[in-house]
């Protein structure tokens, strides 16, 4: 029985946090004094951080779509059945779901409050809190 269902959309909060974090790292790389012989290493690190930033933005954009949670702790997401591998971590604005598939794949799914309607957000938090109390 499905207790909660939602159509996830892009979280602007997640995108901004990712950009801010990567921007701080780029800024630190630019402000740290590098010797002339370390220029190649400096450029390589800068390129890697920028590439990781692009990869993180793509990962955030790939989190859209339908998701539902059943009363047994199963999560249907990306047309695959997942199980909660650990207790969900919750704050007021975000939830971390540690998921495990039947094939052993692991996925950490961050859900931000701005990726769904407020009523859906409240229902999900309430469902997860009730589920944690039962365990």
* pLDDT score for 135: 63
C-alpha–C-alpha distance, residues 126 and 135, integer Å: 15
* pLDDT score for 3: 82
Checking if the pLDDT of 123 tops 70, the result is yes
C-alpha–C-alpha distance, residues 20 and 124, integer Å: 27
3-state secondary structure at position 91: coil
* pLDDT score for 68: 92
Checking if the pLDDT of 100 tops 90, the result is yes
pLDDT in tens, 22-75: 999 999 999 999 888 999 999 999 999 999 999 999 999 999 999 998 877 789
Q: How many CA atoms lie within 13 A of 95 on its CB side?
A: 21
Predicted structure pTM score: 0.82
C-alpha–C-alpha distance, residues 56 and 78, integer Å: 18
């Amino acid at each position: 029985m499905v207790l909660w269902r939602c159509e996830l959309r892009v979280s602007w909060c997640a995108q901004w946090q990712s950009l801010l974090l990567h921007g701080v790292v780029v800024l630190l790389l630019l402000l740290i004094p590098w010797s002339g012989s370390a220029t190649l290493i400096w450029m390589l690190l800068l390129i890697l951080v920028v590439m990781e930033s692009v990869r993180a933005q793509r990962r955030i954009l790939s989190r859209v779509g339908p998701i539902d949670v059943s009363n047994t702790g199963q999560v249907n997401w990306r047309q695959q059945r997942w199980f909660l591998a650990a207790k969900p971590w919750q704050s007021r604005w975000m939830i971390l779901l540690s998921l495990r598939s039947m094939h052993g794949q692991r996925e950490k799914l961050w859900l931000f409050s701005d990726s769904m309607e407020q009523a859906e957000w409240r229902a999900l938090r309430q469902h997860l809190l009730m589920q944690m109390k039962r365990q």
